[in-house]
Amino acid sequence: MMINLIRAAATESPAEVRFISPFGPMRMLATEKGISALEFIDRGATPSDLRGIPRPARRAIDLICGHPVSQEPINLLLNCSDFQFSVLAALLRIPRGQTATYSQVAAAIGHPSAVRAAASAIARNPIALLIPCHRVVPATGGTGNYRWGPDLKRALLRAEQFRTLPEHSAPESDS
Q: Is pLDDT at 11 greater than 50 in this prediction?
A: yes
Give the model's confidence band at 175: pLDDT under 50 very low, under 70 low, under 90 confident, else very high: very low
Give residue 163's pLDDT.
67
In the chain, the percentage of residues whose pLDDT exceeds 90 is 74
Helices 115-123 and 82-91: angle between axes, nearest 10 degrees = 80
Is 80 among the residues known to form the active site?
Answer: no
Sign of CA dihedral 155, 29, 66, 108: negative
Which of the following CATH numbers is that of domain 80-161: 3.50.50.60, 3.40.1230.10, 1.10.10.10, 2.70.98.40? 1.10.10.10
Predicted model pTM: 0.89
Lateral strand order in the sheet of 74-78: 3-7, 74-78, 34-40, 24-31, 15-21
Domain spans of the chain, in order of start: 3-76, 80-161
Residue 38 has pLDDT above 60, yes or no: yes
- Which of these is catalytic: 133, 136, 157, 170? 133
